[in-house]
Amino acid sequence: MTNCVLCKDELKPEEGQLIWRGDDCRIILVNDSDLPGFCRVIWNRHVAEMTDLSYGEREHLMTLVFAVEEAVRHVMRPDKVNIAALGNMVPHIHWHVIPRYKDDAFFPGS
């Protein structure tokens, strides 16, 4: 899809940095100073819903999402990790893996 922001191959520096790319998905370290360590796991092919993927593709994607969560926990030592896939604004399968800290601006009660 030509107008999908997640289908494009190149990232502007202000958008983030590609940290890994495989045949089916890629991992972007998002450039967000309010949420250090925020990663997106993006399915390369344009699909909108998890059920658009085969069972094997879903398993592969979620294995990668959990591996990113584990790496973020090990490296960033957050108080909590948020994992979310919404797709309301960008209907292209992608998962957010966001390390959260009790003193971050978005943590409940901060």
Number of domains in the chain: 1
Is 8 inside a domain boundary? no
Residue 66 belongs to what domain range? 16-100
- The CATH code of the domain that includes 62 is 3.30.428.10
Mind giving me the DSSP string for 65-98?
A: HHHHHHHHHHHH--SEEEEE---SSS-S-EEEEE
| pLDDT tens by residue, the chain, 110 residues | 568 989 887 888 888 999 999 999 999 999 999 999 999 999 999 999 999 999 999 999 999 999 999 999 999 999 999 999 998 999 999 999 999 999 988 877 76
Is 24 inside a domain boundary? yes
Q: Residues with Cβ < 8 Å from 27, sequence gap 6 or more?
A: 18, 19, 20, 21, 39, 40, 41, 42, 64, 68
Is 107 inside a domain boundary? no
CA dihedral sign of residues 75, 80, 84, 90: negative
